[in-house]
């Protein structure tokens, strides 16, 4: 194993937080991964990682070396792609993160198209609502809804996603279908907690061009988007979600849209990635494909603003 391979092993251990996970990800024996780090530490004369039986933590020197390794490996990948004879196609693994509904309903069904075009690029799709630390966790890019204000990220604005207010047919049969905002008095919502404040997000509406926000009572509170939709399907009350995430439920009658004349404002959407002097070709082609896919679904992206990447 040469120095570059040792650097690749080290970066995956840091990103995954585990020797075993890195060995599995790299398809190497655990002993080989351990030996690679030992050689690096012996050559550099510093402790890069602190190991216990339960966890792996990165030393200050390890954090500095990880940033250097990431930059060097990215530059090497870009240089090899540029110099390869005949314009060799991108290859390697792209790690992307997004909410589960976006992955299940839009991105994964379209991935065969991407793999046909770039057969040597593998895609690892991570899902969940938490904003992952891209650099620390080794994620190449992420789709994020709402405002993005994380330092050190390049932000590419995407078409906003139309949203709907809906509830199950059984809930509406029990409570009645609201036709005005005033009629929401006495209705329940599935409450979705905002991580930063610990308070429920309000239901948002646009009335004659003006925003309105209402907080309704509810007997179910969730902290994750798929559980939020599940709460609506289980008759707990109103939910507001991107229309694409519940299209099948609406088409098949499990959910029904209400208050369509005062729909919520579209949800801003952005593609983010860590700042790099050169984005690796495998990541660049995937991000370009993802942007084109979402523009097919939601229309053209808004013009870039000052400060956007």
How do residues 15-44 score in pLDDT, each as one tens digit? 788 898 888 888 889 899 999 999 999 989
Q: How confident is the model at residue 195 (pLDDT cuts 50, 70, 90)?
A: confident
pTM (global) more than 0.85: no
DSSP-based three-state secondary structure for 192: strand
Mean pLDDT to the nearest integer, 236-248: 94
288-292: average pLDDT: 94
Q: Are 266 and 163 in contact (CB under 8 A)?
A: yes
Residue 126 pLDDT grade (very low, low, confident, very high; cuts 50, 70, 90): very high
**DSSP letter for each residue of 68-115:** HHHHHHHHHHHHHHHHSTT-PPP-EEEEEEE-HHHIIIIIHHHHHHHH
Whether residue 125 contacts residue 103, with contact meaning beta carbons closer than 8 Å, is answered with yes
Residue whose entry in the numeric block shows the structure tokens 């904003």:
131
For CA atoms 182, 186, 187, 189, give the dihedral sign.
Answer: positive
Check residue 168 and give its pLDDT. Answer: 97
Task: Tell me what pLDDT residue 82 has.
Answer: 61
Q: Is the pLDDT of residue 102 over 60?
A: yes
Could you give the CA distance from residue 34 to residue 31 in angstroms, rounded to a whole number?
Answer: 5
SS3 of residue 94 by DSSP: strand
How many angstroms separate the CA atoms of 203 and 232, rounded? 14
Q: CA-CA distance, 135 to 146, in Å (whole number)?
A: 20
CA distance linking residue 251 with residue 256, whole number of Å: 9
210-214 and 203-207 strand pairing: antiparallel
CA distance 236 to 295: 33
Q: Which of 68, 48, 64, 67 is nearest to 56 (CA)?
A: 48
pLDDT tens digit string along 213-238?
999 999 999 999 999 999 999 999 99
Counting beta carbons within 10 angstroms of the beta carbon of residue 251, is it exposed (0 to 12), middle (13 to 18) or buried (19 or more)? exposed
Cα–Cα dist 147/46, whole Å: 40
> Dihedrals φ, ψ of 56, to 5°?
-120, 125
When pLDDT is cut at 50, 70 and 90, the band that residue 306 belongs to is very low
* pLDDT the model gives residue 98: 94
Span 149-156, average pLDDT: 82
Quote the pLDDT of residue 55: 78
User: What domains can you pick out in the chain, each with its CATH number?
Assistant: 3-83 (1.10.10.10), 92-159+268-298 (3.40.190.10), 163-265 (3.40.190.10)
The DSSP symbol for 17 reads: T
């Amino acid at each position: 194993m040469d120095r570059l391979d040792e650097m690749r092993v080290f970066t995956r251990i840091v990103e995954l937080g585990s020797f075993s996970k890195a060995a599995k990800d790299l398809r190497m024996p655990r002993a080989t991964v351990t030996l690679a780090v030992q050689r690096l530490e012996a050559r550099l004369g510093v402790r890069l990682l602190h190991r216990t039986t339960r966890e792996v933590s990165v030393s200050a020197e390890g954090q500095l070396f990880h940033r250097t390794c990431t930059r060097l490996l990215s530059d090497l990948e870009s240089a090899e792609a540029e110099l390869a004879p005949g314009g060799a196609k991108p290859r390697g693994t792209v790690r992307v993160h997004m909410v589960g509904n976006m992955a299940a309903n839009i991105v994964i069904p379209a991935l065969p198209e991407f793999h046909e075009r770039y057969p040597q690029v593998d895609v690892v799709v991570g899902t969940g609502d938490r904003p992952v630390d891209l650099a620390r966790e080794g994620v190449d890019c992420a789709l994020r809804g709402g405002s993005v204000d994380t330092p050190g990220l390049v932000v590419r604005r995407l078409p906003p996603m139309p949203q709907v207010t809906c509830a199950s047919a059984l809930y509406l049969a029990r409570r009645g279908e609201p036709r005005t905002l005033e009629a929401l008095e006495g209705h329940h919502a599935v409450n979705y907690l905002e991580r930063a404040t610990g308070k429920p997000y309000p239901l948002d509406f646009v009335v004659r061009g003006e925003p309105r926000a209402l907080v309704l009572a509810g007997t179910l509170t969730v902290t994750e988007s798929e559980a939020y939709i599940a709460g609506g399907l289980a008759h707990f009350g109103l939910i507001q979600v991107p229309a694409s995430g519940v299209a099948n439920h609406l088409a098949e009658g499990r959910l029904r849209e209400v208050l369509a004349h005062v729909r919520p404002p579209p949800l801003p959407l952005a593609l983010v990635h860590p700042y790099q002097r050169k984005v690796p070709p495998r990541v660049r082609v995937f991000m370009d494909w993802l942007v084109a896919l979402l523009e097919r679904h939601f229309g053209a992206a808004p013009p870039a603003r000052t400060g956007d990447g």
